[in-house]
Structure 1
C-alpha cells in the first residue's frame, strides 16, 4: 500500500500537529496491514520534524524527485539535484528504505534567454512571465497544487511520437528542425527547446529518457537504495519503452532522439545496457559450445551403433529377416531413444533453468 502526502503551497498547519496526526495515521495503518508492505510518498526534502520518521512504521519512503524546474532556474529532474535530495533524506532514514520516484515524461515551460544552451547548462534559466499560455504539442496541466500558469506536463508517450516524427528528425541539432535537442552534462537530462515564433521566449521541456534513467539506475545501485517508483505508468509509450528499459536495460533499436546508452556511464558500476550485452554474448557462446558437444556425442553414438550392426550381421547369417529386424529395432528402441530423450531434455531444462 502507498500513501501519498501533499501539503498546500503555503502550509498553515502547525508542524507539531501535523507530526502527531500523521504519525498516528501511519502507525494505525501499519498495525491494520501488518502482513503488507507499506510505503509513504513524500516531497523532495525532509522539511517536517525529522523525528517523525523515527516514530512511524513504514517499509519504504518514496521520494518524488521531479518537477524541480517549477518556479526555479534548474532542470526538472537532474541527477545532480537528486543526489542532494537523497543525501539529505539519508540523514533522516536508512538509505535502504529510500525509493526514487520518477515521472515518465517531462515538464515544459516558457523561458526567456539570450543563449539558451548556456543558460541551461549553467542553471541560469530565466522563467518568462507568461500567463494563460498555450503550449505546443498535446499537453496537460502540470500536476501541482500551486497551478503555475507557465508550465505544463508532457508524457513520454507524447514526446516519443514527436521525437520520431518528420517534423523533429533524429538529428535534433539540424537547422531544419524547429525543435532542437540538448543534453545537460551535469544533470544528465535531455531537453528540447523551440523559440516561440511570436516572441523572443522559448519553449523548453526537460524529460526522462533512456540516458537520464540510466544515470538514475546507476545511482540507485551504487548507493544501495531500495529501488525506483513510477508515478504514473500510463504516461509511458504504448509499447512500454521506458518500463522495459528499467526492467531489462534494453531500449528500442531506433530509440527516438538522444544518444544510445550502450556506452558506460560515469559510474563505476556496469550499466544495465552493458550487463545485457554481456548476457547476450555469453548466451551465444554457450549455445555454440552446446551444439558442438551434442554433435560430438551424436557422432560417437553413430560409430558405436555402426560397429554393433556389423557385429550383428556377422552373427545372423543363419537367421531369418524377421529375426534380424526384430532384434535391430528392439536394440534401437532400448539404446538410442531413451538415451537421446533423457540427454536432450535434461540439457535443455538445465540451460533454461
Structure 2
C-alpha cells in the first residue's frame, strides 16, 4: 500500500512527493543501523547560556554524543545520571574538535617516550583519555579539522592571515593522531568507540583506526558559498541534499577505503531559513542574489523566539542562514493532519517539492512584504518525512552503519522524525505519539481523495434526508405549540388575577454558529 500525504491546503495528489512506499523493517540484527544523537547544552542564540538536558528517548538511540565545545564537562555527569535512571544501554561519547595544527603532531621517535619506554602522548590524547576515565564514557567522536578549517583563513595556527587554518598537507598528522588514540583506547578497560566526523573532503588510511565515519553534508549553503565564490553574490542551496551526501559517501567508500558498514549519514532536524531577493525561489531552490542585500529581518518574520543564528565557521559572525527547528516549524506552519505535508490554513506560505530534483528536499517560501518588497522571499529548506524517507532508503540499500541526528532536542514533542527512523533499527514506527505517515506497523494511512469525496457526498445526502425529517417534525411541534397557546390565551381571559411571583420566564440563547466553531478550533 502507498502512503498518501496532504499538500496545498489539504489537497492530496500523487506528484508532490507525498506518496511514500512503506519502509521495510530491518529484521536481521547484523544489518540493523545505529542511531546517533548529538546533545549540546548551550543556547545557539547565547552560547554562554546553558540549557536543560532534553528529554531523550534513550531506547531509540545507540549513541549520544556530548558536544565538548561551549558545553561544560561537569554536565556529563547529569547526562549519565539521566541515562542510568532510564536503565538504558545507550553509549555516551565525548565529541571534540580542535583546529590548532600545532597540537596534533604525534611522537615519532624514542625521545617522545618516558623513562619506562611508554609513549608520551600529546595534550589532546592525554586529556581525552583522562576525561573518558573520569566520566566513564564509552569513547570519543572527533571532528576532522579540515572539515571547516580547510575553507578558512586566519591567524590560527600561524601569524599569516592569508594561510588556511588547515592545510591538506596536515592530514598525515590527524591520521597518526587517530591511530595513536586508537591504541590508547584499546588499552582502556572495556570496548571504547572511536568516531570521526567529516564532510566531503576525503583522506585515506583511516579504515583500520576508526569504528565509524560520520559524514555530515548539511548546512550546504555555507559550504557551497565558501567553496564557490560568486563574484560577491550569494546562492541559496538545499540544506541537506541527498545527492551531495551520495557523492560524499561514494568518495569516502571508494577513494577513502572506508567500509560501508562504518559510514554514518548525518541528518539535520534544525533546517535553514534565509531571505532570498529573487522570485525564482518559487520554482528553484538554488538562485543567485546580491551579497549586499538585506538578508534577514527578524521583525518582519515575527518568529524571534524560534529562529536561531548559524555562525560562519570561519569568522564566527552571524551568517545569512538561520535555524528553524523542526519542533517549531512543524508546529507553526505545517499541518500535522496530512503528515506535515501541507500548510496550515490562512498562512502565507507555499510548500514546494520537485520530484525530479536530485536533492530530494522540500522547501517553503513566503513573500516578505507584498507592498514594500514583493520580490523578497523567506526560503526554508527542511527535513520532513518525504526527504527522510529517501535518506532511509539509501542508508538501508547501501547497508551503511547508521544515521546521526543534530540535535536530539530539534525534533517535535512526539519525536515524530526519530520515530519514523525506527525501521532501520529493526523496530516498527510507534503507533502512539506524533503524526508521521504510516509505515509497516504504523497504524493507518491517510485516506485517499476519492474516499474523502465519497464520505462528503454521503454526508450531504444523509444530512439532507435527516434535515427534511427534522424540519417536518419541528413544524408539527410548532403547530401544536401555537394551538395550545391559543387555547391557553382563551382560558386566561376568564381569569382576572395571577400572582407575578409564580411567573417563570425562560429563554434559550442560540450562539452564533461561526463564533462557536471558531471557539472550538484546536490550533
Fold conserved (TM > 0.5)?
A: yes
* 1:213 counterpart SS class: helix
Q: Higher mean Cα deviation, 130-139 or 153-162?
A: 130-139
Closer/same/farther in 2, CA of residues 184 and 170 from structure 1, 3 Å limit: closer
Q: CA offset at residue 132 of structure 1?
A: 6.7
Partner in structure 2 of residue 97 of structure 1:
262
Q: CA offset at residue 208 of structure 1?
A: 1.0
Counterpart of 1:160 (choices 330, 336, 341) is 330
Partner in structure 1 of residue 244 of structure 2:
81
Partner in structure 2 of residue 241 of structure 1:
416
Partner in structure 2 of residue 51 of structure 1:
204
1:116-155 aligned within 5 A: 116-120=281-285, 123-124=286-287, 126=289, 129-131=292-294, 133-135=296-298, 136=301, 137=303, 138-146=306-314, 147=317, 149-155=319-325
Separation in structure 2 between the aligned mates of residue 279 and residue 149 of structure 1, nearest angstrom: 42
Separation in structure 1 between the aligned mates of residue 349 and residue 182 of structure 2, nearest angstrom: 49
Q: Structure 1: give runs of 5+ residues left out of the alignment.
A: 263-272, 281-353
Separation in structure 2 between the aligned mates of residue 231 and residue 203 of structure 1, nearest angstrom: 23
- RCO comparison, higher one (Cα < 8 Å, 6+): 2
- Conserved 8 A contact 2:334-2:344: no
Counterpart of 1:15 (choices 157, 161, 168) is 168
Separation in structure 1 between the aligned mates of residue 172 and residue 379 of structure 2, nearest angstrom: 42
TM-score by length of 2: 0.44
Counterpart of 1:38 (choices 184, 189, 194) is 194
Partner in structure 2 of residue 4 of structure 1:
143
Q: Structure 2: give runs of 5+ residues left out of the alignment.
A: 1-138, 153-163, 226-234, 446-523
1:268-283 aligned within 5 A: 273=439, 275-276=440-441
Q: CA offset at residue 206 of structure 1?
A: 0.6
* 1:192 counterpart SS class: strand
Separation in structure 2 between the aligned mates of residue 251 and residue 204 of structure 1, nearest angstrom: 32
Separation in structure 2 between the aligned mates of residue 64 and residue 76 of structure 1, nearest angstrom: 11
Q: CA offset at residue 150 of structure 1?
A: 1.7
- Conserved 8 A contact 1:104-1:208: yes
- Conserved 8 A contact 1:173-1:180: no
Q: Higher mean Cα deviation, 142-151 or 240-249?
A: 142-151
- Conserved 8 A contact 2:185-2:192: yes
Whether 1:110 aligns to 2:110 is no
TM-score by length of 1: 0.64
Higher normalized helix content (fraction of residues): 1
* Cα deviation code 1:234-293 (max 9, x no counterpart): 11112222111112564888977xxx755xxxxxxxxxx2x335999xxxxxxxxxxxxx
